[in-house]
Amino acid sequence: MKTAVIALAFGVALAGPLAAQIMTAEDGDAERGADLAAESCAQCHDITQDGEFKTYPPSFASIGAYRSDDQIFSRIYFPQMHTAMPEMGWYLDRQGIADLVAYIRSVEITVD
Ligand code: HEC
């Protein structure tokens, strides 16, 4: 019982702050996100409207199609380790990341 309480408290302590910080496309400005993307992401990602699928790194058009807002937000904030995706959490503020999520949503393509 005591262990469960401690585990729960620990889980809340870890999940709480991140969950509270996640912002969605609705909080962002896609036009500002487009500027940020051109500046900081385009050297690696295809950030265009009709970006191709199955590229590495993935195009923004395909990320939009496959990921939810909170997944996109967290992957910009905390990228997969040991990949070329740089950590952006120290450099972009939460509003900037929300702007990028809004931009990625705006270039998303439909998968049929
Ligand atoms: C130095 C190259 C580089 C730059 C610059 C870069 N990325 Fe990435 N990004 C990558 C790579 C490589 C991956 C694939 C990581 C993996 O294997 O999961 C990735 C993955 C991602 C993912 C997760 C995709 C998925 O699997 O769902 C998102 C979201 C993302 N990048 C957004 C951005 C944004 C937004 C920027 C600009 C602020 C940016 N990236 C800048 C290289 C880069």
- Going from the N-terminus, what domains does the chain have, and what CATH number goes with each? 2-107 (1.10.760.10)
For a substitution probing ligand 1, which of 78, 82, 85 has the most ligand atoms within 8 Å of its CB?
Answer: 85
pLDDT: which is higher, 52 or 6: 52
Q: Which residue's alpha carbon is nearest to atom 18 within ligand 1?
A: 80
State pTM to two decimals: 0.85
Q: Residue 22 — φ and ψ, nearest 5°?
A: -65, 130
Task: Decide whether any atom of ligand 1 lies within 6 Å of the 102 Cβ.
Answer: no
Q: pLDDT tens digits for 39-71?
A: 999 999 999 998 998 899 999 999 999 999 999
In the structure, what pLDDT confidence band is assigned to residue 12 with cuts at 50, 70 and 90? Answer: low
Cα of 105 to ligand 1 centre, how many Å? 15
Cα of 1 to ligand 1 centre, how many Å? 42
Q: pLDDT tens digits for 71-106?
A: 999 999 989 888 999 988 788 999 999 999 999 999
Alpha carbon dihedral 101, 105, 109, 112, in 10-degree steps, equals: 100
The structure tokens 């500002």 sit at 32
- Give ∠ CA 44-104-48 in degrees, rounded to 5: 55
